[in-house]
Amino acid sequence: MANLQSVFQTIIHAKNEQELKSLIFPEVSDYFVAKRSRLFFLEELPLLDSRLQKVMQFALSSKRNPVVRYLVERHTPVHEALVISPKAWQLICPRADHWHVMVGPIVNQGQLVGVIGLTRTIGMPAFDTQNLLDLSALCLHLSAWVATLRSPNLAKGKLPHQPFKTNNLTPREVQIAELVAQGRTNAQIGVELWITENSVKQALKRMFRKLEVSSRAEMVAQLSASTMMYYSSPL
């Protein structure tokens, strides 16, 4: 069975969006026990034929679909049971292979640029809180990968960020950075490291200043860039 760490490594090594999709989805579907899974970038919509455009516009309508509305408003993963009753969801989406759905955001520079979606059929268990936490970690890595790939500096042949240098961070800050990269919340990091949630928040502020970043995704993007440099460097 696939695990999240193997999916994260697959994301790091993907060279473009098409390769990313072809590589990660067997693992993602297996890990989340999903009947269907898909990664869709919003810029792809105009490239679809007119019939598929209408289908996607209908499916991604925040006015009609409360799951999508939650995702768009909060930029956080959500499954249908979190926002709507089972009976109401079945009226909105009666398809047997979409009996349970879970979606997560791909974000770049504060904007929603893509959506990853997973579905389960009738008779399968609903997605749960642990699934949401795992999807949060996956979306964080995907967003960092997209930020790295689409960086203007990368297009000019330059690194998008300064390499992630752990010697700029204390050992405790390195631990926190690694847990952030795994998608842990501040509260979860605090529990794991036996420190308060506020201590985690203050540490992140210091780390952002040291690394000259403004968000968790940017910090992970630096880590991803450093990892890609490591794997591409000659021995």
Cα–Cα separations (whole angstroms), residue 180 to 5, 21, 144, 176, 217: 13, 24, 12, 6, 9
Residue 54 lies in a domain: yes
Domain with residue 106: its CATH number is 3.30.450.40
Considering the domain architecture, whether residues 70 and 165 belong to the same structural domain is answered as no
Considering the domain architecture, whether residues 105 and 10 belong to the same structural domain is answered as yes
Considering the domain architecture, whether residues 21 and 111 belong to the same structural domain is answered as yes
Tens-place pLDDT, residues 112-142: 888 899 999 999 999 999 999 999 989 988 9
Number of domains in the chain: 2
Asked if 37 and 118 count as a contact pair (C-beta separation under 8 A), the reply is yes
Considering the domain architecture, whether residues 218 and 196 belong to the same structural domain is answered as yes
Residue 148 lies in a domain: no
Does position 218 have pLDDT exceeding 60, yes or no? yes
Residue 92 lies in a domain: yes
Does position 10 have pLDDT exceeding 60, yes or no? yes
User: Which of these ranges, 26-40, 55-69, 92-106, 217-231, has the smallest mean pLDDT?
Assistant: 217-231
Considering the domain architecture, whether residues 220 and 139 belong to the same structural domain is answered as no
Considering the domain architecture, whether residues 203 and 112 belong to the same structural domain is answered as no
Q: Which of 86, 120, 143 is the last residue of a domain?
A: 143
Q: How many Å apart are CA 180 and CA 172, to the nearest integer?
A: 12
Take residue 142 and report the two structure tokens written for it.
């995907």
- The domain in which residue 37 lies consists of 4-143
Considering the domain architecture, whether residues 135 and 93 belong to the same structural domain is answered as yes
Q: For 26-47, what is the mean pLDDT?
A: 83
Q: Which of 93, 122, 143 is the last residue of a domain?
A: 143
Considering the domain architecture, whether residues 125 and 76 belong to the same structural domain is answered as yes
Q: Which of 85, 120, 143 is the last residue of a domain?
A: 143
pLDDT at 3: 82
Residue 193 lies in a domain: yes
pLDDT at 93: 82
Considering the domain architecture, whether residues 71 and 136 belong to the same structural domain is answered as yes
pLDDT confidence bin for 42, thresholds 50/70/90? confident
Q: For 144-148, what is the mean pLDDT?
A: 84
Tens-place pLDDT, residues 67-92: 888 988 888 899 999 999 988 888 88
> Residue 108: in which H helix or E strand, if any?
strand 100-108
pLDDT at 91: 85
Q: How many Å apart are CA 144 and CA 11, to the nearest integer?
A: 10
Domain with residue 182: its CATH number is 1.10.10.10
**Strand order across the beta sheet in which 78-79 lies:** 36-41, 111-120, 100-108, 78-79
Q: For 150-163, what is the mean pLDDT?
A: 49
Tens-place pLDDT, residues 160-213: 444 444 557 787 888 888 788 777 889 988 888 888 899 999 999 998 888 888
Q: How many Å apart are CA 42 and CA 64, to the nearest integer?
A: 18
Residue 70 lies in a domain: yes
- Cα of 168 vs its chain's centroid, Å: 26
pLDDT at 55: 54
Amino acid at 126: A
Does position 33 have pLDDT exceeding 90, yes or no? yes
Amino acid at 185: T
